[in-house]
């Protein structure tokens, strides 16, 4: 699994640590989940996951509550989940996942970012075959955990890969196994620090350090857009 599941994890988390950006994105995910499946996290698995991800980023409870309340308000914005695809410098393919209340604004903003940073947007679906969708659940490893037993316990739930890196365990499977893996993790008494559906490159490419810096400029600009929830590439 390794770097294929999360492009340059350390640098990406450092960028997302800008609370002025991450909290609104997390709040938007909570609002959409609550609007879709109801405001009770006990009966809405998607909302429960969104709240867990927010807690992992130390989002205040008051912000979480406001995001849920926004879903039931008469004046709440109607968000649409939509993906855009593009090409960056040096053969990099990019998937951009958005949550937006104005698709015209989103596509215009993204097109500008691509064009100004050595890339271009491509037709929807053009890159679909270059990525597979995976359910990925992360949790912190403690001394009390029997990792071998946990791994065996998750196989029936759809586990395909299990990896531990720097004190964090990554359990992954096909995207259709997201609900069953989440439930199995919960039944084991483990609280995830992050759960998500990710796009994993089927044929990842290697870049030099100089090329990586150039591509990172484009990715930074994309992630800075308020409508962008996640950016995935085919970089190894």
Which has the closest alpha carbon to 83: 221, 230, 194? 230
Which has the closest alpha carbon to 28: 64, 72, 57? 64
For the chain, the straight-line distance linking the first and the last C-alpha, in angstroms and rounded, comes to: 10
DSSP secondary structure code for residue 177 in this structure: G
Q: What are phi and psi of 208, to 5 degrees?
A: -75, 170
Q: Are strands 93-100 and 80-87 parallel, antiparallel or unpaired?
A: antiparallel
Which has the closest alpha carbon to 75: 31, 44, 36? 31
Question: Domains in the chain, ordered, with CATH?
Answer: 2-72 (1.10.10.200), 80-125+206-233 (3.30.70.980), 130-200 (3.30.70.980)
Lowest pLDDT segment from 11-15, 49-53, 193-197: 11-15
**138 within 8 A of 192, measured Cβ to Cβ:** yes
pLDDT of residue 126: 95
The sign of the torsion formed by the CA atoms of 224, 229, 234, 236 equals positive
User: What is the C-alpha separation between 194 and 209, in angstroms, rounded?
Assistant: 29
User: How are strands ordered across the β-sheet holding 194-201?
Assistant: 161-165, 168-174, 131-140, 194-201
- Which residues partner with 120 through β-bridges? 87
- CA angle at residue 94 from 218 to 167, to 5 degrees? 90
pLDDT tens, position by position, 108-162: 999 999 999 999 999 999 999 999 999 999 999 999 999 999 999 999 999 999 9
DSSP secondary structure code for residue 205 in this structure: B
Rounded to an integer, the average pLDDT of 60-70 is 94
The sign of the torsion formed by the CA atoms of 169, 13, 33, 4 equals negative
pLDDT tens, position by position, 191-200: 999 999 999 9
Q: Locate all alpha helices (DSSP H) within the chain, ordered by sequence.
A: 9-16, 19-37, 45-56, 61-72, 103-116, 147-155, 178-187, 209-224
Which has the closest alpha carbon to 223: 9, 26, 21, 8? 21
pLDDT tens, position by position, 71-96: 877 656 789 999 999 999 999 999 99
User: What is the C-alpha separation between 229 and 208, in angstroms, rounded?
Assistant: 27
DSSP secondary structure code for residue 231 in this structure: E
Q: What is the pTM of this model?
A: 0.82
């Amino acid at each position: 699994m390794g770097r294929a599941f999360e492009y340059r994890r350390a640098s990406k988390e450092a960028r997302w640590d800008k609370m002025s950006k991450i909290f609104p994105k997390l709040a938007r995910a909570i609002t959409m989940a609550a609007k879709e499946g109801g405001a009770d996290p006990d009966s809405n698995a998607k909302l429960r996951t969104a709240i867990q991800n927010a807690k992992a980023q130390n989002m205040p409870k008051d912000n979480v509550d406001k995001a849920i309340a926004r879903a039931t308000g008469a004046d709440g914005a109607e968000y649409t989940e939509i993906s855009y695809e593009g090409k960056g410098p040096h053969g990099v393919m990019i998937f951009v996942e958005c949550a937006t209340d104005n698709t015209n604004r989103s596509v215009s903003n993204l097109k500008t970012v691509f064009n100004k940073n050595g890339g271009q947007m491509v037709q929807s679906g053009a890159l679909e075959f270059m990525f597979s969708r995976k359910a990925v659940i992360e949790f912190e490893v403690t001394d009390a955990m029997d990792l071998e037993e946990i791994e065996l316990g998750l196989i029936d739930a759809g586990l395909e890969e299990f990896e531990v890196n720097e004190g964090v365990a990554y359990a992954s499977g096909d995207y259709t196994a997201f609900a069953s893996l989440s439930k199995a993790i919960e039944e084991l008494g483990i609280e995830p620090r992050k759960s998500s559906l990710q796009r994993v490159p089927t044929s990842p490419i290697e870049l030099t350090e100089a090329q990586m810096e150039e591509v990172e400029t484009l990715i930074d600009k994309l992630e800075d857009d308020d409508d962008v929830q996640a950016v995935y590439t085919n970089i190894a």
